[in-house]
Structure 1
Amino acid sequence: MADALVSASLAARFSVSYGYDVHFTPDALHLEDATLAATLRDDGGGRLLAVLDAGLLAAQPDLPDRLAAYGKRHFEDLEFVGDPIVLPAGERVKDGMGHGAPIRAAIAEHHLDRHAHVLAIGGGAVLDAAGFAAATAHRGVRLIRMPSTVLAQADAGIGVKNGVNACGQKNFIGTFAPPRGVINDASLLATVSDRDWRAGMSEAVKVAALKDVGFFTQLEADAPALAARDSAAMHRLIRRCAQLHLQHITGAGDPFETGSGRPLDFGHWAAHKLEQLSGFRLRHGEAVALGIAVDTTYARYTGLLRKSAWERVMSLLAALGSRTPVPELADPRVLDGLGEFAEHIGGPLTLTTLTALGQGIDLRDIDRAAMTASVHHVDRWTRAAR
């Protein structure tokens, strides 16, 4: 007689350990700089497909030759396969999954496997698109990032996410796939436009305001030098900003964002909507600066933040060149970003703002009238800069 069917369960519980290093070097492709070669060697060495940002390539057209020469010098640790894949610069490279197709095709053509590497050199959008392509080929070809903009070196290039835009939403399709290494090459910033130099500093303001009042004070002191493109001041900004982001990723207990609280998305609900409304004319960093201004003003309007702290945040944003009028701030659809952000993060809407410099708070009950007034205030604040 057959055994009677009874309810039963099998438990599967396991953890996966991740780790990667973020390096800082003056010139990663100098023939005597071993940072890239050592990163490959420590990760098993092997074959490497290069992906370049078209904007960076236009500014530094010798990059393919430098990559080839570096490969010859360090042939024992790495082998470049084929010609570098060139992706469009800026947010348009994240318009769906199509721009990743040449990367996946090259991975197949050159028979690269999960022990091979993709080396992505470019701004945050190119790193996102290349990282997504690598993460979805063979369910994960190894990725090394070499960020080439201020924002990417300070923030976007050092995290664990990859994504592209789809269905009218930013980063709608993506993966959590940590890189095998990140190399911040100071020489790549030499040709960054003034606009991208300024825009990239907003993420430093964000993390300083949230987590480190000493860093915030340093940014205030360095603001004139940063605005004048002083490389030493920028090196300080990038290194501390990267350190604080990594501390949050590794120490906050939620690197893959399973919860609803996202402190490092301070200012991002408005930023994502402003980018979308502008047709991505706005740089991500420019939009984040405005989003920080909105959420800091909301904290002031609702009595969470003292006027003096609010004034310091707004003054620092202005000193770093972020007080720029944008017509999208006057669009009533900006407030639709609240609902879209709730869907993006999952669970109840949770926004981070400030109770003091260096001290953030997560909010779930949002006063829509106060938020509307905050957006209008920032709109007037930017227009007054004219």
Structure 2
Amino acid sequence: MNTLHQSFSVPFTYDVFFSDRLFESTNPTLLEFLKNRHTEGFRKKLLFVLDEGVTASHPDLLNQIKAYFSRVSIVELVPDLIVIPGGEGSKNDPALVDQLIDAVDRYGIDRHSYIIAVGGGSVLDLVGYVAAISHRGIRHIRIPTTVLSQNDSGIGVKNGVNYKGKKNFLGSFAPPIAVFNDADFLKTLDDRDWRAGISEAIKVALIKDKPFFEWLETQAEKLAARDLDTMQQLIHRCAELHLDHIASGDPFEMGSSRPLDFGHWSAHKLEQLTDFEIRHGEAVAIGIAVDSLYSQRLGWLSETDANRILNLERTLGFPLFHPALDGDGVLKGLDEFREHLGGQLTIMLLKAIGKGVEVHEMDQELIREVIGILKEDEIQPA
């Protein structure tokens, strides 16, 4: 038997920059990054794709971007700054993928150019997917504009779009070349989007960092009152934990485990059942409540700690029940979660605050019981 064996590894490195008013003429952060990657005698192109929700909240943004690069000779800003719809609907529209690929072709965006996405997590997912499949990979810069994308989705290595009604059915693992978190964008978020991203911080604290969870408890009222400095601390710590996990675990999810998706098996299905009317972070908050109570019913998590989790979410303003939880529709999320990851079903639950544990089966009757408790509490709050 004659066999050839191949094995190689490719290092991935990228930085997450924290800044404010990124496109102010006096802010050198983005320009310095581009200068450090400049090739003498060659002007790399920049193709911007922006979330229309962001441009509506920041009506001067397009002009600011054009002015920022008007005095820069090392890169070439293409004349068309593309504005697309934001929110989960953008990931459900195949025409947007075609539109962006057409722009890559029309403006000659090659593998040494940059596609820069400015927006919430859905727009970043979509643009990252286009960057990954065009020319087998174009350099991608993310500028997240929501709490959720700055502390979680925008700093990770995943891209994707929804297909056949399934979340992220088409996608890629393609790290960005850099991420720029601009705190100024957070000021114009509506209350739902401000709150929604906090659920991912609760999630990562519950499975990895008890002191961070305790900090969230002490800062909950400030976060609910939209204190920007406190939110920036939350984003930085959550992003740090997320990046540490990517570096130390299974970044391209080759196994059947996805620890950072605590609370997500039901959240993904809940988004679909509500036709994505519910925000991802809102669905995750409900998913955290479901899996925390489930862990308590198994005898792993104390009743006191389960109540701490639910009380934190309520203090932050999260509803912990949605009518779409009624019936068995959400239970189909277990099979879809297993199918998406491949292999056996793997769900993260809690042994204690700060300590996650993986299980490979869930008792559907116990899930129904937990949902009933959340429904009753919603009708008659404790």
Shorter-chain TM-score range: over 0.9
Report the residue type matching 1:21 in the other structure. D
Residue in 1 aligned with 2:323?
327
Residue in 2 aligned with 1:72?
70
Matches within 5 A, 1:198-237: 198-237=195-234
Matches within 5 A, 1:1-386: 7-44=1-38, 46-73=44-71, 75-252=72-249, 254-323=250-319, 325-385=321-381
Cα-to-partner distance string for 1:175-199 (whole Å, 9 max, x where unaligned): 1110000000000111111110011
After the TM superposition, list the runs of 4 or more consecutive aligned residues in structure 1 that deviate by more than 4 angstroms: none
TM-score normalised by structure 1 residue count: 0.95
Report the residue type matching 2:60 in the other structure. D
Report the residue type matching 2:70 in the other structure. K
Q: Distance in 2 between matches of 1:134 and 1:330?
A: 39
Report the residue type matching 2:233 in the other structure. R
In the TM superposition, residue 96 of structure 1 has moved relative to its aligned partner by 4.4
Matched residues, percent identical? Answer: 47
In the TM superposition, residue 42 of structure 1 has moved relative to its aligned partner by 2.9
Q: Secondary structure at the match of 2:161?
A: strand
Q: Secondary structure at the match of 2:253?
A: coil
Cα-to-partner distance string for 1:191-239 (whole Å, 9 max, x where unaligned): 1111100111100000011111111111111111100100011001100
Contact conserved, 1:325 with 1:383, CA < 8 A, in 2? no
Q: Distance in 2 between matches of 1:185 and 1:99?
A: 25
The number of residues matched between the two structures is 378
Q: Distance in 1 between matches of 2:137 and 2:379?
A: 46
In the TM superposition, residue 170 of structure 1 has moved relative to its aligned partner by 0.2
Q: Distance in 2 between matches of 1:320 and 1:163?
A: 29
Q: Secondary structure at the match of 2:136?
A: coil
Q: Distance in 2 between matches of 1:43 and 1:346?
A: 38
Report the residue type matching 1:36 in the other structure. L
TM-score normalised by structure 2 residue count: 0.96
Report the residue type matching 2:339 in the other structure. E
Cα-to-partner distance string for 1:310-348 (whole Å, 9 max, x where unaligned): 111111111111125421111321111111100011110
Report the residue type matching 2:142 in the other structure. R
Report the residue type matching 1:159 in the other structure. G
Q: Distance in 2 between matches of 1:227 and 1:97?
A: 36
Contact conserved, 1:50 with 1:120, CA < 8 A, in 2? yes
Unaligned runs of 5+ in 1: 1-6
Q: Distance in 2 between matches of 1:380 and 1:348?
A: 33
Contact conserved, 1:226 with 1:233, CA < 8 A, in 2? yes
Residue in 2 aligned with 1:3?
none
Q: Distance in 2 between matches of 1:300 and 1:375?
A: 13
Q: Distance in 2 between matches of 1:375 and 1:351?
A: 17
Q: Distance in 2 between matches of 1:30 and 1:384?
A: 50
1:77–1:164 CA distance, 2 compared to 1 (3 A): same
Q: Distance in 2 between matches of 1:368 and 1:324?
A: 19
Q: Distance in 2 between matches of 1:228 and 1:260?
A: 39
User: What RMSD over aligned residues (CA atoms) do the two structures have, in Å?
Assistant: 1.3
- Higher mean C-alpha displacement, 181-190 vs 96-105: 96-105
In the TM superposition, residue 385 of structure 1 has moved relative to its aligned partner by 4.4
Report the residue type matching 1:195 in the other structure. R
Q: Distance in 1 between matches of 2:58 and 2:259?
A: 36
Cα-to-partner distance string for 1:12-71 (whole Å, 9 max, x where unaligned): 111111010001012211112111112223334621100100111111111110000111
Report the residue type matching 1:380 in the other structure. E
Unaligned runs of 5+ in 2: none
Q: Distance in 2 between matches of 1:113 and 1:167?
A: 30
Report the residue type matching 1:79 in the other structure. E
Q: Secondary structure at the match of 2:338?
A: helix
1:310–1:250 CA distance, 2 compared to 1 (3 A): same
